[in-house]
Amino acid sequence: MADITDKCELILKMRRIGASEGSACKNHVLTTLLPYDKLKSILEVRLKISILGDGGWGTALAILLKNKGFDVSLWGVFKEDIEAIKQDGENKKFLPGFKIPKTIQLTSEIYHACEDANIIVLAVPSRFFRDVITKNKKILKESQAGFVSVAKGIEEKSLKRMSEVAGEILGGSEIAVLSGPSIAPEVSRGIPTAVVVASEDEIFAKKVSDIFRAERFRVYTNKDLIGVELGGALKNIIAIASGISDGLGFGVNTKAAILTRGLAEMTRLGTAMGASRETFQGLSGLGDMITTCVSLEGRNHRFGVEIGKGSRPESL
């Protein structure tokens, strides 16, 4: 029975990397010569992962995954930005100070980025999320890849979560969400980080967890897709409020009140929208909120600080 199970797992994995069932069966001897973990790592290294979005987080994930040995491509919509990254060897615009491995494929042509991809990471900002997916729907669907959204936000007009937008456009594709307290520069510096992956497909969530997990990048799984996404979006509001408090010169008493009452409001809203209360006590809720509210590198916190100091929001 164990031998049959190993064979099935090997066939499934090799199908995901483009091999035929016949070649998988011919190489079935590997299951008796190599431990499962070793075999799994060999197969996964051959995966191609495409990251759409050359911002700080997309770039940080590209470096993380390349360092794990995957075939990685990084796409950006502006050719001049991609050419600058190639020339500088780093993303000076969004993630300065971190060298990008030369073996990462950098491109502004989305077809080349997604060609033969097994996993496509959607790292496009939430305000451009629908537009990018809609314009490239044919390419994305024909790739037959699984999708991982790392965008944190809610669509302004429809009030849909990013996985809902992706599911609406891409149909029955596998979709997961990766979220949690993960400031891009800290991840790129190798500072220990923990995040969470959620999907309606538990098997796909586990697969994504295995792909992203690294020695200093711990990835948990969660069945609560709604809660994980809402935590990543709603905490931005609390981060802005926390920043305003800092900009006004208030102290830690005020910040503690904002964080604790903010978490209570996030939880109430989330449960009303179908999420689990416990999710907001975890990485994608409390954890992400704390990081965004206290880190000097958090964009929403910085935005709030400037408002607190007197700047007009539309000028920032």
Q: Given a cut of 60, is residue 52 above it in pLDDT?
A: yes
According to the CATH classification, is domain 227-315 in 2.60.40.10? no
Tens-place pLDDT, residues 252-261: 999 999 999 9
Q: What's the predicted TM-score (pTM) here? A: 0.85
| Whole-angstrom distance, CA of residue 205 vs CA of residue 216 | 19
Q: Where are the domains positioned within the chain? A: 2-44, 48-223, 227-315
Angle at 17 between CA 202 and CA 33, to 5 degrees: 90
Q: Given a cut of 60, is residue 123 above it in pLDDT?
A: yes
Instruction: Report the candidate in 173, 127, 123 with the shortest Cα–Cα distance to residue 147.
Output: 173
Please give the residue that has the higher pLDDT: either 51 or 35: 51
Q: Is 237 exposed, middle or buried (0-12, 13-18, 19+ CB in 10 A)?
A: middle
Q: Topology of 48-223 in CATH?
A: Rossmann fold (3.40.50)
CB atoms within 10 A of CB 71: 19
Tell me whether the CATH fold assigned to 48-223 matches the one assigned to 227-315: no
Whether 218 contacts 193, CB under 8 Å: yes
Helix (H/G/I), strand (E/B), else coil: 242:
helix
b/e for 194-227, b at 16 or more Cβ within 10 A? ebbbbbeeeebbebbbebbeeeebbbbbbebbbb
Q: How sure is the predictor about 40, in pLDDT bands with cuts at 50, 70 and 90? A: low
Catalytic, out of 66, 152, 207, 235: 235
- Catalytic residue at 235? yes
Element (H, E) at 96: strand 95-99
Tens-place pLDDT, residues 177-230: 999 999 999 999 999 999 999 999 999 999 999 999 999 999 999 999 999 999
Whether 153 contacts 162, CB under 8 Å: yes
- Residue 121's beta-bridge partner residues? 51, 148
